[in-house]
Amino acid sequence: MEYAHIECLGGKIARPVSRSDTSTKYFECRRDFRLNVPGRFVCMFLFSNVYPYLYYQVLNFGMIVSSALMIWKGLMVVTGSESPIVVVLSGSMEPAFHRGDLLFLTNRVEDPIRVGEIVVFRIEGREIPIVHRVLKIHEKENGDIKFLTKGDNNAVDDRGLYKQGQHWLEKKDVVGRARGFVPYIGIVTILMNDYPKFKYAVLFLLGLFVLVHRE
Partner 1 sequence: MVKSCEDGGHVWKGIAYRLTSSCSTLIWMSVSSRKNVDDFTGPRERSDLGFITFDLSADLKPIFDWNVKQLFLYLSAEYATKSNALNQVVLWDKIVLRGESTKLNLRDMKSKYFFFDDGNGLRANKNITLTLSWNVVPNAGILPLVMGAGRMSVPFPESYETTKSY
Could you list the residues that contact partner 1 (CB under 8 A)?
95-97, 114-118, 133, 135-141, 146, 152, 156-157, 159-160, 167, 178-183
CA separation for the pair 142, 164 (Å, rounded): 27
- Catalytic annotation on 132? yes
Is 158 one of the catalytic residues? yes
Active site residue 92: yes
Out of 81, 92, 101, 173, the active site residue is 92
- Least Å from the CB of residue 97 to partner 1: 8
Marked catalytic residue, from 81, 101, 158, 173 = 158
Q: Which residue in 18, 20, 67, 132 is the catalytic one?
A: 132
The smaller minimum CB distance to partner 1, of residues 52 and 183, is found at 183
First-to-last alpha carbon distance for the chain, in angstroms, is 54
What distance in Å separates the CA atoms of residue 91 and residue 196, rounded to the nearest whole number? 22
Nearest-approach distance from CB 50 to partner 1, in angstroms? 49
Pairing of strands 15-17, 169-170: unpaired
* Residue closer to partner 1 (CB basis): 55 or 168: 168
| CB 128, CB 136: distance < 8 Å | no
Closest CA to 215 of 78, 93, 98, 54: 54
Pairing mode, if any, of strands 102-106 and 118-121?
unpaired
Closest distance of CB 133 from partner 1, Å: 8
| Cβ-based neighbour number of residue 93 at 10 Å | 22
Q: How far is the CB of 151 from partner 1 (least distance, A)?
A: 12
Active-site residues, by number, are 92, 132, 158
